[in-house]
Structure 1
Amino acid sequence: MLLISLIPPGESQSVKAVKQEPDGKTLSVADSIELLNTISRSLTFVNQTKSLEAANRALKLSLDTDNAVGMAYAYRNLSSLHSYNESYSISMEYIQRALDIFEGLADSAGIANCYISLGHTYRRLHNLEEEVRYHRMSFQIFKRINDQERIGVTAHNLGESYFNAGDYRNGRLLTDYAITINDSLQNKPVLSSCYKVMGLIELAEGKYDVAKNYFEKVLVLSSELGENSQKIATAESLFSLATIFKIKQARDEQLAYLLRTADFSLQHGLANYLQRTYQELILYS
């Protein structure tokens, strides 16, 4: 997916085109910027097109009104989107802009959110040390300021990083903690990703039936959320279920899940999962 981080000409009246609250009252421009940035962040792993649109609108409004915090969060969202699509140099440029603003404002939450983005980028770059470091720092900051929603997110991120590092004990502890928080907040997209991580931990430890149960929980949430589902968690769970059935030598079930993974990955542009699935299909035949 090619991401163009520019506001389309039709947004020239964006300052006036503020969102409407349910009771019919217009939001202030500052509130509209905050809402758009929140929407963009929430959709990063769900719908990149809509996430990009919201980030661009937030950036345009922020530039028009000299809203530094709004600019910083829009830059952070744009960085996340470019990182997701492996445009790492552009991603790093945007995240540095965001960090410069947040550090100038001494905004701990903003800095921590940038650390989340950096943790994800270093994960994709397979730099495990930096991945763990940034996800640990973001978790520590949100614990200190007691932001429950972000604690739930960062505990999940750090738990997955520990799993990637082979530290299954801490990965399990943090992911259990993240499940408790995200379940209580009904943050179902993140909860589904937590279940994915627990499934991967159980799979790595050879507990195939327990792992299967977690991956099936992901698929239940994915079905419930529809287009708002966490796409990577869904693809990983489908692929992992195929792996479990391969280990159990249940070839029909393995093939069924490989085909579902391929179809889902193709539908949502998940090239990495599509490649992995095709490789398994070749081996299957």
Structure 2
Amino acid sequence: MIELLTELLSYAFVVRALIVGVLVSLCAALLGVSLVLKRYSMIGDGLSHVGFGALALAMALNLSPLEVAIPVVAVAAFVLLRISENSRIKGDAAIALISSSSLAIGVIIISYTSGMNADTSNYMFGSILAMSESDVLLSVGVSVVVILLYVLFYNKIFAVTFDESFTRATGTNAGRYNTLIALLTALTIVVGMRMMGALLISSLIIFPALTSMRLFKTFKQVVISSAILSVCCFVVGIILSFIFSFPTGASVVVINLLMFVIFSAIGLVKKAIA
């Protein structure tokens, strides 16, 4: 096992993927708890499709994919919130509307320009080979900002997650913190798409929170458990993807699924004993 880890860490692309992956997993897990509790977890899936459309446009114009995707997905997150809050279109319908439209635009752009190639496949399904040094620097910077903002506004995020109506009654601008959660989610989605792929990145947000809720009850317990679980699942997943040449995103999702089953089984046993 030690020899395997030593061999893994001897490859620069694996080290880059681990650095970014651990940070992105941490960001996704922290935000995922709030999104799942607010029943807005599918925003991750919707924004990942928007990200795919933005990446397709960037590749067609020979621009930096991440530099194009970050502002586009951030704007999409803001628009999603405004549509669901201020119109007759409900949140899930708004996500489906923007998600399918963005994916369709991305597919048309790819078909019209380069067609399906290795870069496109990497963005759809994820690859640890896809991270360049500039991608790593940008991703680390964005991830650190996301974590710092989450920690800084933790109490407000907790408040709008559990009782938004009461939070508004106390004079807190709940809309501002909902927007913050959505924007932080957008940033996390974009920086994680290289490794996890547009089709699977939302699983990093949903799985750790749902899994932790099988055993833990308080917000803080679920947040801490989700963070630890997400990072561990990513590391195990990336090791398996290296050993068996599986796509990184798929490996991480399967490990998360396995942990969900295990935690659910333990939860059922605890209930039966109690």
In the superposition, the TM-score normalised over structure 1's length comes to 0.27
Greater relative CO, 1 or 2 (CA 8 Å, sep 6+): 2
